[in-house]
Amino acid sequence: MSTPAVDYNLDVARIRKEFPILNQEINGKPLVYLDNAATTQKPQIVIDALVEYYQKYNANIHRGIHTLAEKATAAYEASREAARGFINAESVEQVIFTKGTTESVNLVASSYGDKFINEGDEVLVSGMEHHSNIVPWQMMCERKKATLKVIPVDENGVLDLEDFSKMLCEKTKLVSIVFASNTLGTINPVKEIIAKAHDVGAVVMVDGAQAAPHLHLDVKDLDVDFLGFSAHKMYGPSGVGVLYGKRELLEEMPPYMGGGEMIKDVSFSKTTFNDLPFKFEAGTPNIADVVAFKQAIEFINIIGKDKIQQHELELLNYGQDKIGKIEGVRLIGTAAQKVSVISFVVEGVHHFDLGMMLDAKGVAVRTGHHCTQPLMDQYKIEGTVRASFAVYNTIQEIDTLADGLERIVKMMK
Ligand code: PMP
């Protein structure tokens, strides 16, 4: 579990060397990986941490007193501390490991929702939410006879905050909002949204899946009640995520799942639950991936979010300008504040065909509705092509995308 003492100083060539997967050809062309909003690639230190765990100290955690169990427990809890620092949470007890953002939202919708949302209450989400920040609330609202309301999004992909303010009332009990949209790239003013929701006594969950790799996350500064994010979108392993919650809320919430680890005592007449965060971590967790997650956090910390943001903004501006100028291209999502996501459609060419033809040129982009079907309905499209950038992407790669796209569009005419 060695962390390289490297100051990358945004030397992209040096950073790329840490990602073995990038150094390969796809369909006879150098791989240009631009599907980072779906999942990022993993640096060698993350891969090494996984291998080292299985080779040297695989054991179940928290219960064992033997050396390997203690080592595994220490590594698992060290990741919790790293995740705490990453979001500036007060205590590790407020950092719950989940499978990812989806499970984090489901946990809150089930546990908080079932206890605190009642008939006639209102839950607000926005029109740009990922399905994982829609469906769990829909399911909960149906169970509790509450109403799900939608904050509108304008043509540029910006939330209508005036409408949001008007929607807030004493019935509003919970607002769940995406920090950065996976389809549009829009960065929402979550701090302002949280403050406004708090004014009417509502709690706020932030979906930080697309913010975590790009933007500073500071739960104290945001004053957010719940935050979810996924390791695999920030250079870490898949199958790991975090739910942060304010302590007073987590204390009041019932367990999400029952089983081992989340209990203090069990008898057939009464079970008492474990303390935070273990109350919400039933069963043997995803130990290896949680352990390796620490290396992903350290990778980001070594480079620094400011430098990452600066580099990605350069890529975004260059890419939007270049791709936006190609004949027939319409950019979807033109907010002033964006993370490095470019979604577009091309007149007369299906997004799926574009994706296939770009893949033939070694360029990996996402096509489809990106799990935001209500947003696609609003734009009256079926899907988009989405190019999304990470810290290891280059201007040359955007040129390859743009040149390939231009050729395809000309050929299809
Ligand atoms: N929210 C957003 C904005 C996302 O982009 C994603 C993943 N595409 C999710 C939630 C769900 O994340 P996961 O699949 O890692 O649970």
Q: Atom of ligand 1 at shortest distance to CA of 371?
A: 8
> Rounded CA gap, 172 and 166, in Å?
11
Please report which helix (H) or strand (E) contains residue 131, including its range: none
> Rounded CA gap, 109 and 86, in Å?
24
- Residue 386 CA to ligand 1 center (angstroms) comes to 15
Per CATH, which fold does 49-301 belong to? Aspartate Aminotransferase; domain 2 (3.40.640)
Q: Atom of ligand 1 at shortest distance to CA of 181?
A: 3
Question: pTM value?
Answer: 0.97
Q: Which residues pair with 159 in a beta bridge?
A: 153
Question: CB within 6 Å of ligand 1 — which residues?
Answer: 100-102, 130, 132-133, 178, 182, 207, 209-210, 230, 371
Whether residue 391 contacts residue 15, with contact meaning beta carbons closer than 8 Å, is answered with yes
What DSSP character marks residue 64? -
**Active site residue ranges:** 371
- Residue 130 CA to ligand 1 center (angstroms) comes to 7
Virtual torsion, Cα 140, 141, 142, 146, nearest 10 deg = 150
> Rounded CA gap, 408 and 255, in Å?
53
| Choice from 371, 372, 373, 388 to test ligand 1 binding pocket (greatest atom count within 8 A of CB) | 371
pLDDT in the model for residue 3: 42
pLDDT in the model for residue 272: 94
pLDDT tens-digit map of 115-139: 999 999 999 999 999 999 999 999 9
CA quadruple 80, 82, 87, 93: dihedral sign: positive
Q: Atom of ligand 1 at shortest distance to CA of 180?
A: 3
Please report which helix (H) or strand (E) contains residue 341, including its range: strand 341-346
- Smallest CA separation from ligand 1 atom 8, residue: 38
Distance separating the N- and C-terminal Cα atoms of the chain: 53
Q: Which residues pair with 259 in a beta bridge?
A: none
Query: Where are the strands (E) in 16-91, listed by range?
Result: 25-26, 29-30, 32-33
The CA-based angle 233-195-145, given to 5 degrees, is: 80
> Rounded CA gap, 368 and 134, in Å?
18
> Rounded CA gap, 7 and 221, in Å?
28
> Rounded CA gap, 342 and 332, in Å?
8
| Choice from 99, 107, 132 to test ligand 1 binding pocket (greatest atom count within 8 A of CB) | 132
> Rounded CA gap, 236 and 154, in Å?
33
Q: Where in the chain is the domain with CATH 3.90.1150.10?
A: 12-36+304-412
pLDDT in the model for residue 6: 53
> Rounded CA gap, 342 and 324, in Å?
9
> Rounded CA gap, 411 and 5, in Å?
48
Question: Given the structure tokens 């949209």, which residue do they identify?
Answer: 181
The CA-based angle 221-225-228, given to 5 degrees, is: 95
- Smallest CA separation from ligand 1 atom 4, residue: 209
- Residue 232 CA to ligand 1 center (angstroms) comes to 10
Kindly calculate the radius of gyration of the chain based on its CA atoms and give it in whole angstroms.
Answer: 22
pLDDT in the model for residue 4: 43
- Residue 153 CA to ligand 1 center (angstroms) comes to 19
**Closest listed residue to residue 253, CA positions, set 77, 80, 96:** 96
pLDDT tens-digit map of 192-228: 999 999 999 999 999 999 999 999 999 999 999 999 9
Pick the CATH number of 12-36+304-412 from 3.40.630.10, 3.40.50.11540, 3.90.1150.10, 3.40.190.10: 3.90.1150.10
- Residue 248 CA to ligand 1 center (angstroms) comes to 26
| Per-residue pLDDT in tens (0 to 9) along the chain, 413 residues | 344 445 567 899 999 999 999 999 999 999 999 999 999 999 999 999 999 999 999 999 998 899 999 999 999 999 999 999 999 999 999 999 999 999 999 999 999 999 999 999 999 999 999 999 999 999 999 999 999 999 999 999 999 999 999 999 999 999 999 999 999 999 999 999 999 999 999 999 999 999 999 999 999 999 999 999 999 999 999 999 999 999 999 999 999 999 998 999 999 999 999 999 999 999 999 999 999 999 999 999 999 999 999 999 999 999 999 999 999 999 999 999 999 999 999 999 999 999 999 999 999 999 999 999 999 999 999 999 999 999 999 999 999 999 999 999 999 87
Please report which helix (H) or strand (E) contains residue 133, including its range: none
| Choice from 130, 179, 234 to test ligand 1 binding pocket (greatest atom count within 8 A of CB) | 130
Q: Where in the chain is the domain with CATH 3.40.640.10?
A: 49-301
Whether residue 179 contacts residue 215, with contact meaning beta carbons closer than 8 Å, is answered with yes
SS3 category, 273: strand
pLDDT in the model for residue 8: 63
SS3 category, 44: helix
